[in-house]
Structure formats: C-alpha cells, structure tokens
Amino acid sequence: MDRERIPQHVAIVMDGNGRWAKKRGQIRVMGHNAGMQALKEIVKHSDVLGVKYLTVYAFSTENWKRPKDEVSGIFKLLVKYVAQEIEELDANNVNVRILGDWSMLPKDARSAVTRALETTKDNTGLVFSIALNYGGRADIVMAARKLAREAAAGEIDPEDINEDSVSERLYTSGMPDPDLIIRTGGEYRLSNFLIWQAAYSELVVTDVLWPDFTPEEYEKAIEEFLKRDRRFGGVK
C-alpha cells in the first residue's frame, strides 16, 4: 500500500449491526455492541495507516424512528464506549469531535460526549468525528440559517455567498471533505450522510456487515480507493 497516497479523510457508514445480530438469533442491540468492538479497531488502524480524519455515522436524524429499546441501547453503548476508550484515545493524541445536534441526546449520553470533547480538545493527532443525531440535509439547513442571519444583520453581502461560505458553516468546518466513503452491509446509498461534503468522494461498498469489518477489510477498501483515477470533473 502506497502510504503517501492514503486518503486524508475516510468516512464510514457503519451498516449491518442489526442484520449481524439477527443472523445469530440475538437482539439488535447486541449487533450494535459488536459494532462498537469493530469501531475500536478501525480507529486504532486509521492512526496506524496515517489517516488524518476518520468520520463515522453513528446515529442519524432518522434513527429516532427505530424501536425505543434499540435507540436507548445505542446511547448506553455510547456512554460505555467513552468510559472504556477515552483514556486510550487521549493517550494516543486523538481529537474527538461530534457532528450533529447532540443536545437532544439523553443526559448520560450528553455527559459522555462532553467528557470526550473536553478530554481530547487539545489533541493534535487523528481527528475522530462521530456523527450523532446527524443528517446531511439538516447540516445544510443549519448553514443556510447561519448565512441568512448574518445577511439580515448586514454582516455579509448575499452576493458574496459561495461554496466556501457554506462549507465553513457546516458541522465539518475546518475539515477537508472525505476522500473515501466506505459503506458496509452492501447497501448502495449515502443515507443522508455528508451529502454536501461527499460531492467528489470515492465510494466503496462492501457486503461485509459492520461488526465483521476488520482492519484487513479496511485495508481492502483503501486499496480499492488507491486504484481510482480521481479527476474531480476534469480530464487527465
């Protein structure tokens, strides 16, 4: 693998937890728990490979429609993840960020998020972003509202608004757009994930369910990315 061409920003739609549990006759939350174990390894391996930004889709704005016990279980796993992993993440200089409106999360989950952000805020290594209560359309609406308020206050001229202006007001402000988006579980869609930022991302879909997504599978996806000829609308 050509380490100099490793994607700077990898984003992952972690799909297949429920199907993984169903295949084993388990409740869906057990699939999410197994997925959490897989996430630990992918975060570590991102650092090893030299990925600078890792963004994972943990809970979408649409996921509130799921059964209450599953939603509750997901947030309990978030609390568990922070409790178990935050010291190691901090020791490895990982900077944790949250994309999305996490003010709507249960109190214990909000406390866990606050702890993760405060503990790692000064770290300068891998930027590990967790999309929580995140939706791509909601992200764009938020940016539009910010621009509208600034224009109404006379702080900006509407004619000066451009793509950079929008990008600077998204949750991913200050981050490069993802070079590679990986979706596990075999579904071919973005599911409202980073839809502005994904304009020229390379997409790799694997049938592997998220709990079975090992560092070896991760490297396969990156190797597929390295075969791509990225032209960004131009011609070589």
Catalytic residues: 15, 63
Alpha-carbon 10 to chain mean position: 8
Burial annotation 212-230 (CB, 10 A radius, 16+ → b, else e): bbeeebbebbbebbeeeee
Radius of gyration of the chain (CA): 18
Cβ(52)–Cβ(9) below 8 Å: yes
3-class secondary structure, 98: strand
Q: Is 16 exposed, middle or buried (0-12, 13-18, 19+ CB in 10 A)?
A: buried
DSSP class of 66: S
Spatial distance between the Cα atoms of 109 and 106, rounded to a whole number of angstroms: 5
Phi-psi label, residue 233: left if phi above 0, alpha if psi -120 to 50, beta otherwise: left
